[in-house]
């Protein structure tokens, strides 16, 4: 018996609706995190914080970072938005401010190639004896490996797109979370501009600043032996 055309169309529409609903739920999970801050960070903590936002190639595909930066500035949080090629000089600036006592909490955010550059910036800061409180990568485009630590590293990526999960190398210290948002309708070019993603990024930054009242984990000097125990990285989330 031939299937009724109306029934087939209805089933197809129902399937599409289910996919849309699943995507909406996943984006909601990204936006509403257990680490979301319940209150704004104190002005004392904000005054000694700096957030560095690294755009991707050509400076024209990561303009959502400008929006995130503006929202953070509205909270009084100092930010720098720059192209990813500036990561090394920005690390030098952050290290100088940290050693002078002007800066206590360093937070890094990158999109695309800017996300790919984050591990290099973290490694240089660690080599200079400077801790990184939080790093958030949005759809890093190349295989990325963390050899040294941020206290927490969050990699939000699109598993069926150009994005890649971040791997922890031997001796990595810190917490690594890979968050796969495939199936949500978010693309590589739009991930930094998506409202739910932006809310998640800002909430994680606020929470990190709130946690900055506690002493930062010490950073080993170059060549110093690493502790025997390394924190386990969380596995990439799958749909």
Query: Each residue of 101-110: pLDDT tens digit?
Result: 999 999 999 9
The beta-strand segments (E) located in the chain are: 49-55, 79-83, 105-111, 134-138, 144-146, 152-157, 166-168, 175-180
**At which residue do the structure tokens 């978010």 appear?**
186
Mean pLDDT value across residues 21-35:
47
Q: Higher-confidence residue: 44 or 38?
A: 44
pLDDT of residue 238: 37
Residue 227 lies in a domain: no
What is residue 177's three-state secondary structure?
strand
Number of compact structural domains in the chain: 1
**Rounded-to-integer distance, Cα 180 and Cα 27, Å:** 10
pLDDT tens per residue, range 211-229: 886 545 545 444 444 444 3
Tell me which residue of 114, 217, 115, 203 sits closest to 172, measured CA to CA: 217
Q: What percent of the chain has pLDDT over 90?
A: 57
Q: In this model, does residue 189 exceed pLDDT 90?
A: yes
Per the DSSP assignment, residues forming a β-bridge with 124 are: none
Answer whether 52's CB lies under 8 Å from 78's CB.
Answer: no
What is residue 232's three-state secondary structure?
coil
pLDDT tens per residue, range 144-167: 788 877 999 999 999 998 888 999
Average pLDDT, the chain: 80
Q: Higher-confidence residue: 216 or 138?
A: 138
Residue 220 lies in a domain: no
What is residue 145's three-state secondary structure?
strand
Residue 223 lies in a domain: no
Residue 229 lies in a domain: no
CATH number at residue 205: 3.40.50.1820
Residue 89 DSSP one-character state: H
Q: In this model, does residue 138 exceed pLDDT 60?
A: yes
Q: In this model, does residue 122 exceed pLDDT 60?
A: yes
Q: Over the range 131-163, which residues count as b (16 or more CB within 10 Å of their CB) and which as e?
A: bbbbbbbbbbbeebebebbbbbbbbbbbbeeeb
Most confident of 57-66, 132-141, 159-168: 132-141
- What confidence tier does 11 reach under pLDDT thresholds 50, 70, 90? very low
Domain coverage including residue 158: 8-211
Mean pLDDT value across residues 78-90:
97
pLDDT of residue 221: 45
pLDDT of residue 149: 78
Lowest mean pLDDT among 109-123, 174-188, 201-215: 201-215
Mean pLDDT value across residues 57-63:
88
Residue 100 lies in a domain: yes
Residue 33 lies in a domain: yes
């Amino acid at each position: 018996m031939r299937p009724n055309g109306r029934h087939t169309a209805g089933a197809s529409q129902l399937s599409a609706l289910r996919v849309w609903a699943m995507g909406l739920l996943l984006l909601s999970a990204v936006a509403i995190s257990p680490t979301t801050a319940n209150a704004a960070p104190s002005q004392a903590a904000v005054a000694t914080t700096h957030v560095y936002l690294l755009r991707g190639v050509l400076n024209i595909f990561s303009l959502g970072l400008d929006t995130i930066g503006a929202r953070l500035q509205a909270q009084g949080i100092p930010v720098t938005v720059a192209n990813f090629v500036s990561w090394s000089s920005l690390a030098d600036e952050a290290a100088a401010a940290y050693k002078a006592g002007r800066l206590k909490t360093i937070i890094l955010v990158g999109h695309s190639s800017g996300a790919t550059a984050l591990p290099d910036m973290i490694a240089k800061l660690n080599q200079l004896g400077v801790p990184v409180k939080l790093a958030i990568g949005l759809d890093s485009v190349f295989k990325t490996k963390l050899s040294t630590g941020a206290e927490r590293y969050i990699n939000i990526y699109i598993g069926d797109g150009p994005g890649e999960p971040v791997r922890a190398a031997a001796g990595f210290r810190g917490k690594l979370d890979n968050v796969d948002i495939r199936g949500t309708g978010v693309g590589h070019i739009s991930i930094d501009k998506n409202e739910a993603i932006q809310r998640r990024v800002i909430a994680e930054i606020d929470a990190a600043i709130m946690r900055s009242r506690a002493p930062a984990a010490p950073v080993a000097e170059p060549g110093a032996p690493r502790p025997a125990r390394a924190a386990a990285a969380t596995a990439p989330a799958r749909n």
